[in-house]
Amino acid sequence: MIIEEKKDNYLGKQCQLVIGPAGSGKSTYCRTIMSHCQSIKRSVHLVNLDPAAENFEYEPTIDIRDLITLDDVMEELDYGPNGGLVYCMEFLINNINWLEEELNNYEDDYLIFDCPGQIELYTHFPIMKSIVQTLQKYDYNVCCVYLLDSQFIEDTSKFFSGVLNAMSAMIQLEIPHINVLTKVDLLDKKLQRSRDFERYLEVDSSLLTEDINNRMRPRYQHLNEAIVQLIDEYNMVNFLPLDITDEESIAYVLAQVDNSIQYGEDLEVKEREDFTEVDDDDY
């Protein structure tokens, strides 16, 4: 059953901050959630915080490119793409009053922030933290949605690199945080229904030692064990699978985000089993 909006719900000041590595599917996620919200009659606005963005299916209501663009910075200051992007985001922080003024026009609306794909902005620099603090200053309930490409599960070392980045962002931003495994619709259906796939969703850290220690030199085993210990001690990261071809999968992810920011508290959040039925014969 797909969760539907109730018209008497308080829309309030709610927003998603959509982050993740380049190519993880942030723009596709934003487009999918925007389309789903339209279908359930929820009013939402897209906010573009990527100064290098080009095309949008849904025109952003607030767009950082009205303030600064990566192309202009690279041309005028002779910066490369990475340095130019950091400059753009620092410029935004130094002119945060621009964002504050834009937010004043949509203070009672649900906002979805499409953010840049440079992972350092969430794990190293305090830029996104400053943006979160600005949103909280205006009484927005903020949820961070961290996306990771499901293709990473084909390479365990890449997957756990994504896990560590997700954990770093969670610690850095200190806000409700939902991790989403994207592009699940591109995975083999049998894999999706397997118990091995569940180990990635629940982040079974033993996958790292089982796989990598068989392929890497013994000298790296102590490092892998330290990483496993770190993940286990924090015990913060798990993933929700997102299949953009399945409305129930989309509804389930959105319901978890809504729950984390207390949107529509009278809506019942379903368990994953309510959205996906698994045939035991597929194991």
Tens of pLDDT, residue by residue over 94-146, are 999 999 999 888 767 799 999 999 988 888 889 999 999 999 998 899 999 99
Asked if 204 and 212 touch (Cβ cutoff 8 Å), the reply is no
Band the pLDDT of 4: cuts 50, 70, 90. Answer: very low
Residue 37 falls inside a structural domain: yes
Count CA atoms closer than 13 A to 214's CA, side-chain side: 6
Band the pLDDT of 68: cuts 50, 70, 90. Answer: very high
Prediction pTM value: 0.85
Helix 96-104 and helix 127-137, axial crossing angle in degrees, nearest 10: 40
Rounded-to-integer distance, Cα 201 and Cα 203, Å:
5
pLDDT at 240 exceeding the cut of 60: yes
Residue 29 falls inside a structural domain: yes
Residue 177 falls inside a structural domain: yes
Neighbours of 107 (CB within 10 A): 12
pLDDT for 271 equals 54
Residue 17 host element (H or E): strand 14-19
Asked if 130 and 91 touch (Cβ cutoff 8 Å), the reply is no
Rounded-to-integer distance, Cα 259 and Cα 35, Å:
20
Q: What residues does 15 pair with on adjacent strands?
A: 111, 142
What total number of domains does the chain contain? 1
Residue 103 falls inside a structural domain: yes
Closest CA to 112 of 68, 62, 70: 62
pLDDT for 85 equals 95
pLDDT for 265 equals 62
Residue 125 falls inside a structural domain: yes
Arithmetic mean of pLDDT over the chain:
86
Residue 198 falls inside a structural domain: no
What residue numbers bound the domain in which 62 lies? 14-185+238-265
Residue 280 falls inside a structural domain: no
Report the share of the chain in percent with pLDDT over 70: 87
The mean pLDDT value for 6-12 works out to 46
How far from each other are the two terminal CA atoms of the chain, in whole angstroms?
25
- Give pLDDT tens digits for 154-202: 888 889 899 999 999 999 999 999 999 999 999 887 777 777 899 999 9
Pairing of strands 62-63, 240-241: unpaired
Residue 272 falls inside a structural domain: no
Of the two residues 7 and 274, the one the predictor is more confident about is 274
CATH number at residue 21: 3.40.50.300
